[in-house]
Structure 1
Amino acid sequence: MPEFLDVLTPAHFLLAVCVTALGGFVKGAVGFAMPLIMISGMGIAIAPELVVAGIVIPIVISNGLQVARAGFGAAGEALREHWRYVTVVCVMILISAQFIRFIPSNVLFIVLGVPVVGLCFIQLIGWRPRLSPRMRRPFEWGAGLLSGTLGGLAGTWGPPTVLYLLALETPRDRQMAVQGVIYGLGSVMLLLGHLRSGILNSETWGFSASLVVPALLGMWLGFRLGDRFDQERFRTVTLLVLMVAGVNLIRRGIMG
């Protein structure tokens, strides 16, 4: 019997598989939100440290596929242009991941829920920061600091990255390549960070690895069916559902 079943009931494992498949489907269809869906969905019933452990390996594999899909030439160009942001994100993921074991469970639910709600709300209202050319470099450092900190603690740095690219007015056809690089390298740092923090250990790595298959099946289905959806409406419904789930995580943190 897998060791993670000692800390996770079969019903909770089935929930994790279904939520991961849904997250993979949304990522394949619209290119975002898998970590947010996994965190908010699994957080309904599963301990927060186990949730964070569970997302790590599926994120690494799925983001690696995203980099390959965008093309390694485009990835290299993106890295040269955005190296400051990428560097800060990666360093901060490694650092902030080390603090997760020192955060009480109820506070961790809030740490997971607040970014989900806040980042989804910002995307729903369509807000984007306006940036003057002279502020680009300070903005890169500051945005990278925020994204990396959220990434290490909550496993998600996608929405802040989208806002960062919008602020720089990155052409839409280049955004996927840039996101692939940032998500890919960041996910490797998340893996290393949580191996170091102890979140990913002999009890939890099997749980995380077992979620790779539903994540990839969901992505495959999303790739095939994504073009059949009204992308903007699907994105809006996804964000609204995530907000509700995020509010529930905050409720769990406050009320227990």
Structure 2
Amino acid sequence: MESELLLAAAAATFFLAGTVKGVIGLGLPTITLGLMTLLLDLPSAMALLIVPSLATNLWQAAIGGHIREILRKTWPFLLTATVTIWIGAQALSHVDLAYLSALLGLLLIAYATTGLAGFRFSMSAQTAFRSGSLFGITNGILTGMTGSFMVPGVLYLQATGMPRDMLIQAMGMLFLLSTAALALALGHGAHVDPDLGLASALGLIPAILGMVLGRKIRGYLSEARFRQVFFAGVLLLGLAIAAKAVMS
């Protein structure tokens, strides 16, 4: 893409993604990755989300006052979800990107379907702690391969039974650590060029503006209804990405 077109597309995407995050507390990486993968190759789309995702999730991870308790309950999950990202990222240089894009599409479809169906599973604190490493390894490898942080990581965090505010902070911690590890992996694999770095940095401005707007919208719309719209949109994105990958 031309630099000007890339910046315009990235700005619009980050504004939309930031608005969604402002309303429901998540969705910025998912929407950014989903939309930009329709325009760019997968590693480039992954590189674009780094700066806005780092900045917005740093804020989400820091606010809430539950960091110590979250770490005590989930450190095996967070640790393995972070350190295994580099394993999955090796696929970006050795596997046909069409296959990885198709995998991203399937992950988004799975995430949206569980959200629309209201699917939840729960675990005892002891079971969650013991199984954290398994979920973390799976999430880390899939994140490295596709850039998606959601499956099975968010499902795992939801299953721990955390209160809402703690859950949102825990997701921010997962997204922050995953984004940082993904940035290192992409940089090591030479998947980030100056144009992508500039677009990612400039994307922070519309992302923050979108979050401000989203927080205002939250007061006027039903969050439950907005979540339905969000998951329906993610489902359509997943189907479009998978279809594009198959046709390529």
Structures share fold, TM-score greater than 0.5? yes
* Structure 2: gaps spanning 5 or more residues: none
Letter in 1 for 2:52: P
CA contact (8 A) 2:43 2:186 kept: no
For residue 178 of structure 2, what is the aligned residue in structure 1? 186
Change (3 A) 1:100 1:33: same
Deviation at 1:236, TM superposition (A): 0.6
1:114 to 101, 106, 116: 106
Q: Deviations over 1:149-198 (max 9, x none)?
A: 22222222135333112222222232122222222222221222211122
Partners of 1:102 and 1:195 lie apart in 2 by 16
Deviation at 1:233, TM superposition (A): 0.5
CA contact (8 A) 1:60 1:191 kept: no
For residue 213 of structure 1, what is the aligned residue in structure 2? 205
For residue 24 of structure 2, what is the aligned residue in structure 1? 30
Give the length in aligned residue pairs.
Answer: 248
Partners of 2:197 and 2:206 lie apart in 1 by 16
For residue 3 of structure 1, what is the aligned residue in structure 2? none
Partners of 1:63 and 1:112 lie apart in 2 by 21
2:10 to 6, 9, 16: 16
SS in 2 for 1:126: coil
For residue 71 of structure 2, what is the aligned residue in structure 1? 79
For residue 195 of structure 1, what is the aligned residue in structure 2? 187
For residue 4 of structure 1, what is the aligned residue in structure 2? none
For residue 51 of structure 2, what is the aligned residue in structure 1? 57
Change (3 A) 1:219 1:134: closer
TM-score, normalised by the number of residues in structure 1? 0.88
SS in 1 for 2:80: helix
Deviates more, 1:80-89 or 1:154-163: 154-163
Letter in 2 for 1:83: W
Deviation at 1:220, TM superposition (A): 1.7
CA contact (8 A) 1:93 1:148 kept: yes
For residue 252 of structure 1, what is the aligned residue in structure 2? 244
> Percent identity, aligned pairs only?
26
Deviation at 1:255, TM superposition (A): 0.6
Letter in 2 for 1:42: M
Deviation at 1:23, TM superposition (A): 0.5
* Structure 1: gaps spanning 5 or more residues: 1-6
2:118 to 126, 136, 149: 126
Deviates more, 1:52-61 or 1:168-177: 168-177
Change (3 A) 1:11 1:57: same
CA contact (8 A) 1:25 1:218 kept: yes
